[in-house]
Amino acid sequence: HVYVTILETPKDEAKWIANQIETLVKSKSLDYSDFGILLRSVNTSGEPLIQEFKRRKIPYLVGGTAGLFRREEATAVGKLFTWLYDEGFWRDHRGKVEYSDLIESAIGDWERATGVILSVDREGIKEELKKWKNDVRNSKFHNFQDAYHALLNILRFKELNPNDKLHASIMANLGRFSNLLSDYENAIRIGGNKLRWNNSNLRGLMWYFYLYATTVYEEQSGEDIRGIDSVQITTIHQAKGLEWAVVFIPALVYGRFPSSYMNEQKKWLISRTLFPADRYDLKEDDERRLFYVAVTRAKSTLVLNSFKRISVRKSMSKFLKETLTDNPKIIHSMDPKGDRVIDVDVEQSSGSENEIYTFDAGEIIDYTKCPYFYRLRYVWSYNAPLNEELGYGNALHYCLRRAVELHRKGYNSLSAILEAVNNDFHLPYAPKFKAEEMKKSAERILMDYVIENLDDISSVSEVEYRLEFPRKNSTITGKVDVIIDRNEFVEVREYKTSTKVTKPDQVALQVKLYTLGLGNLGYNVGKGSAVYLSERVMKYIDVNDKSLNYAKAYAEQILTDIHNQKYEPKLGDFCEKCDY
């Protein structure tokens, strides 16, 4: 189904689109996530839609360079982090907020975005925020994520309902802000630098917001939004490879699409003669290809929208004119003042059951630890805190891999371990003295392991073997630590630093999933094992048919629960180790 509608103004266009979405969600068993709104520029054309969706409480996510900080929950926490710097200010599309007004402005943004009313105890909230600022400046928090979690608790984050579609999109966007903080902290701490909560770093964070993050960080991108039921407002560039049941392409007017910058030469800080600058100039063919991408994103229904005026009269996009001329019998005109609703083939376009998602085996294991942890980590993308030991397990794995490679080149097993640890052990965030201390620990752990299992390193046939295999409308991917050749069969082995974070039964499930995947590739897996390096313990894992069938059924049930968005918290021992 293809429709065209010409509205009077961009606001009228936004109202008409919102009406169609609301009606279809109520009457056609469609979800909000079945709708995509594709724009040539979200910055230029997105605001009327954003304001209309806010007014009607339609859950939405915004892509494009206008993305994250068009959302008031993001500006609220951004302003409060800016307030940590004594001369901080905030500037965005709404104007400038001076330091003295940052708290009031942030509270207002938070209340409008979330509906969580802080003004009932405004003075109490302000006192909590002042204490939070004092704790930050006095280095109570060891990383940005811990400080962020403390701030969210002050703002009553836990009063948000993750099963409410509006709240879920807000919580997802706050996860995106978590990514932003991690990126900034990573730049400070890489190489073992200590995090100091001084004016220099806090001033740097403010300018990072102002000069970079406000125009670069989008909301959750298309591939990250499984489980978030929201309309997606995004640029056509970001829509490549994605599909929706219903696609609206608004603002098809002269100067918007194709872009008014078409055929202009870009200005560069270096001479255009030093590189093929013409390749980067916007040409009509580029815009036509982009239009093709946009009109091919709909599974069932495509709606082309235009409007007549903003402050002055606007003419129709040449692409829309050509489309109407070339397809007079295919495109249906819609009366903007009528009550007609666009047609959608629900069965054809409903892809939630048939859509293939990819899951890493580690994701499935993390779901068994706690479904709500899984939601925070993988659905909403909240980052884990940075710490000096981060990467220790990966460094051990890599040194084992290098040792196997060196052994194949003729090194004896012990020399291979010493060489690998000496040259390849690296912790990106540990200061020099800490890195050396942990390097010695790694050398001792790996040497002990090799001494006790001297023959195994000679029998390794594959290291970090990547595989993927289908399971329950999904693809499971993974990386087998080692495959050991036992002549008549192979052994699948996983290495873990300890049993503290991942329990033996969870590691066993991972080994069994890898066994199933390798079986599909023709491997005869006769044994499974897990080695806990710090504890010098090896546990063998049953991989007979009965055990594998149980693991297969269990994994399929987990995948079904993820598809059905079952993310209830699992209270228990893991809560003490949880990053959140």
Per residue in 426-437, pLDDT (tens digit) is 999 999 999 999
Q: Give the pLDDT confidence score for residue 226 in this predicted structure.
A: 53
Task: From 124, 109, 126, 128, select the one nearest 170 (Cα to Cα).
Answer: 109
156-175 pLDDT per residue, tens: 999 999 888 889 889 988 99
Separation of alpha carbons 243 and 247, rounded Å: 8
pLDDT digits (tens, 9 = 90+) for 252-284: 998 888 877 776 777 777 887 888 777 777 677
Q: Rounded to the nearest 5°, which phi and psi values hold at 465?
A: -80, 120
Kindly list the domain boundaries of the chain, sorted by start residue: 2-67+224-349, 68-217, 357-576
**Is the per-residue pLDDT at 348 higher than 80?**
no
Q: Which residues contact 260 (CB under 8 A, 6 or more apart)?
A: none
**What mean pLDDT comes out for the span 344-367?**
78
| Nearest alpha carbon to residue 247 among 348, 352, 349, 101 | 349
pLDDT average, residue stretch 495-515: 91
- Encoded tokens for 553: 């059924």
> What are 170's two structure tokens?
């807000």
Beta strand spans in 94-213 (E): 95-97
The answer to whether the CB of 220 falls within 8 A of the CB of 275 is no
pLDDT of residue 123: 87
pLDDT category at 328 given cuts 50, 70, 90 is confident
Q: Are 10 and 45 in contact (CB under 8 A)?
A: yes
Contacts of 225 (CB under 8 A, 6+ apart): 33, 61, 172, 232
| pTM passes above 0.75 | yes
Task: Report pLDDT for 222.
Answer: 45
Minimum mean pLDDT range among 97-111, 275-289, 323-337, 560-574: 275-289
Average pLDDT over residues 21-27: 92
Count of beta carbons in the 10 Å neighbourhood of residue 333: 10
Per-residue pLDDT tens over the stretch 531-552: 998 888 899 999 999 999 999 9
- What are all long-range contacts of 258-266, with beta carbons under 8 Å and residues at least 24 apart? 258/40, 258/284, 258/287, 258/288, 258/291, 258/317, 258/318, 258/319, 259/40, 259/41, 259/287, 262/287
Give the tens place of pLDDT for each residue, 222-241. Answer: 444 556 788 988 888 888 88
Q: What is the pLDDT of residues 377-412, one digit of tens each?
A: 998 889 999 998 889 988 998 998 899 899 989 999
Residue 92 predicted with pLDDT over 70: yes
E-only strand ranges, 8-54? 35-39
Considering the domain 357-576, what is its CATH architecture? Alpha-Beta Complex (3.90)
CATH architecture of the domain 2-67+224-349 equals: 3-Layer(aba) Sandwich (3.40)
DSSP string, 426-460: --TTS-HHHHHHHHHHHHHHHHHHHHHTTTHHHHE
- Which residues are CB-neighbours of 401 under 8 A, at least 6 positions away? 463, 464
Q: What is the mean pLDDT of residues 90-117?
A: 90
C-alpha distance from residue 100 to each of 118, 273, 578 (Å): 19, 49, 36
From CA 35, how far away is CA 32, in angstroms rounded? 6
Helices 392-408 + 432-452 axis angle, to 10: 50
CA dihedral 220, 201, 81, 238 (to 10 degrees): -20
Pairwise pLDDT comparison (356 vs 530), residue with the higher score: 530
Asked whether the predicted pLDDT for residue 98 surpasses 90, the reply is yes
CA distance 229 to 381: 16
Residue 355 pLDDT > 70: no
**Residue-wise DSSP of 370-419:** -HHHHIIIIIS-PPPPP-TTTTHHHHHHHHHHHHHHHHHTT--HHHHHHH
User: φ and ψ at 292, to 5 degrees?
Assistant: -60, -45
